[in-house]
């Protein structure tokens, strides 16, 4: 089942959940490369590049406004420094990556089905640091 993209804004969490078909990038054989390429396209606010990973029905759910808002949140964390595997469950097709920026980090979750199709891509910013009360 295809899940529409949604940007959950609020406090410490913004999520982008999209589903679709990977366009010939072999996610089944290299999900890290797929996560890296998709994350850099999202960071660059490259709608066409990001949409290129999805089938036609999913492309319509990825809007420039939603993508721009999440790209802006990523830019608040600075430049991308690295994308490294955090967790993997290949049998379930689930992969999580730590994306480290110059001023923070976030997680990218990728779900890949056995045929190499990307079933979901989700970005979760790290929670904002707690504020302390001052007198």
Hey, what domains does the chain have and what are their CATH numbers?
A: 31-125 (3.10.450.590)
Q: What is the pTM of this model?
A: 0.71
DSSP state, residue 88: E
Q: Please give the residue that has the higher pLDDT: either 63 or 21.
A: 63
Phi-psi region of 45 (alpha: psi -120 to 50; beta: other; left: phi over 0): left
The pair of structure tokens assigned to 124 is 């979760």
| Residue linked to tokens 């964390």 | 77
Helices (H), 44-127: 47-51, 56-59, 64-76
Secondary structure of residue 80 in the 3-state scheme = strand
Summarize pLDDT for 71-113 with one digit per residue, the tens: 999 999 999 999 999 999 999 989 999 999 999 999 999 877 7
Average pLDDT over residues 114-130: 73
Residues of the chain with pLDDT > 90: what percent? 36
Strands 118-125 and 94-101, sheet pairing:
unpaired
Closest-CA residue to 53 (of 30, 22, 74)? 22
Per the prediction, the chain carries an average pLDDT of 74
CB atoms within 10 A of CB 31: 24
Q: Check residue 30 and give its pLDDT.
A: 85
Q: Check residue 62 and give its pLDDT.
A: 79
Per-residue pLDDT at 70 exceeds 60: yes
Per-residue pLDDT at 68 exceeds 60: yes
């Amino acid at each position: 089942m295809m899940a529409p993209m949604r940007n959950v804004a609020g406090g410490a969490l913004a999520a982008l959940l999209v589903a679709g078909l990977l366009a010939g990038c072999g996610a089944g054989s290299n999900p890290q490369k797929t996560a890296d390429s998709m994350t850099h396209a999202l960071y660059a606010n490259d709608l066409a590049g990001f949409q290129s990973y999805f089938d036609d029905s999913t492309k319509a759910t990825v809007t420039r406004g939603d993508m721009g808002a999440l790209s802006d949140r990523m830019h608040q964390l600075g430049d991308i420094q690295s994308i490294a595997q955090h967790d993997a469950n290949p049998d379930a097709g689930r992969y999580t990556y730590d994306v480290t920026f110059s001023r923070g980090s976030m997680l990218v979750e990728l779900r890949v089905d056995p045929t190499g199709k990307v079933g979901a891509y989700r970005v979760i910013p790290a929670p904002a640091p707690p504020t302390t009360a001052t007198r």
